Amino acid sequence: MNLIFTLRHFLKAGYYNGHRVHSPNIFNFFKYVIFSKEKFDYSLAENAYAQFRKNRDNITVTTFGAKGGKIKEVKISSLAKKSSSKGKYGRLLQRTANFLQPRKILELGTSLGVGTLYLSAGSPDSKIITLEGCTSIHNLACESFTNHNVNNIEAINSGFDDILEKLIADNQDIDLVYIDGNHTYQATMDYYELFIRRLESGAVLLFDDINWSKGMSKAWREIVKDSKSTVTIETARMGIVFLNPKLTPKHYCTRF
């Protein structure tokens, strides 16, 4: 994450831990998700992550997204460290899924499936659809889901753009989307437009890495300004969008 964006974020961010939040739903989201004091069991995703970190094998991957189009050898342990959700952001995913209890969750960018397992543990009754372009990475994620006896995940090996329109048309009851791949300005705006056009009112979008590049920051600022995004919450790294016209429109920039 860009240091200047991070510093700028902390200068303008507030805590909103229960204060200055008038909508009861958003108040509860701050209380029970962002600043939750409850104890959760995060071991499912964290054990999977620890296993990948111990794996010194190499795999051949095809890169997708902003730096796509290359074939290279990577150590599984390094791939896990570099690409997986972990720490407080992984835990935030689990609490978000737990709070929202979505009917269906869509994740763009499975990687090794660590973020998927946080979502699954947070809401075991939801159906989770997760997309990954690289076949060798997708296969490792599927193995991990089987080894951890998780059966609410449908992992699809596909480029996002090859499948997304049809997938969304067939699954308009997706109420939570985690966008964690293809971090370019244009792709982020295209996905946003698609989700606001096709998903039912009440859906929540999580954009990871909103300050990863100038293009991502620009996309996030445009999403915040768009009237259909209703309530938006911004941490230094993640942008959360509530597509619910019943909510009073407001943007919260919060420390987390």
Ligand X SMILES: C[S@@+](CC[C@H](N)C(=O)[O-])C[C@H]1O[C@@H](n2cnc3c(N)ncnc32)[C@H](O)[C@@H]1O
Binding site for ligand X (CB under 6 A): 64-65, 83-85, 107, 109, 111, 114-115, 131-134, 137, 159-160, 180-182
Is the Cβ of residue 94 or residue 230 nearer to ligand X in the bound state? 94
Is the Cβ of residue 44 or residue 134 nearer to ligand X in the bound state? 134
- In 101-226, alpha helices (H): 114-122, 135-147, 160-170, 185-198, 214-225
Is the Cβ of residue 132 or residue 234 nearer to ligand X in the bound state? 132
Is the Cβ of residue 134 or residue 205 nearer to ligand X in the bound state? 134
Is the Cβ of residue 84 or residue 123 nearer to ligand X in the bound state? 84
Task: Provide the minimum distance between the beta carbon of 132 and ligand X in the complex, in angstroms, as a whole number.
Answer: 5
Amino acid at 75: K
Cα separation, 8 vs 70, whole angstroms = 33
The burial class, CB within 10 Å (0-12 / 13-18 / 19+), for 224 is: middle
Residue 158 DSSP class: S
Task: Provide the minimum distance between the beta carbon of 229 and ligand X in the complex, in angstroms, as a whole number.
Answer: 22
Task: Provide the minimum distance between the beta carbon of 249 and ligand X in the complex, in angstroms, as a whole number.
Answer: 28
* Cβ-proximal residue to ligand X, closest one: 115
Radius of gyration, alpha carbons of the chain = 17
The burial class, CB within 10 Å (0-12 / 13-18 / 19+), for 223 is: buried
Cα separation, 188 vs 180, whole angstroms = 10
Question: Helix, strand or coil for residue 240?
Answer: strand
Task: Provide the minimum distance between the beta carbon of 199 and ligand X in the complex, in angstroms, as a whole number.
Answer: 19
Is the Cβ of residue 81 or residue 251 nearer to ligand X in the bound state? 81
> Any idea what the Cα angle at residue 97 is, between residues 93 and 99, rounded to 5°?
115
Task: Provide the minimum distance between the beta carbon of 145 and ligand X in the complex, in angstroms, as a whole number.
Answer: 13
Is the Cβ of residue 188 or residue 217 nearer to ligand X in the bound state? 188
Question: Helix, strand or coil for residue 138?
Answer: helix
Cα separation, 131 vs 111, whole angstroms = 9
Task: Provide the minimum distance between the beta carbon of 191 and ligand X in the complex, in angstroms, as a whole number.
Answer: 10
Q: Of all helices (H) and strands (E), which one includes residue 175?
A: strand 174-179
Task: Provide the minimum distance between the beta carbon of 234 and ligand X in the complex, in angstroms, as a whole number.
Answer: 19
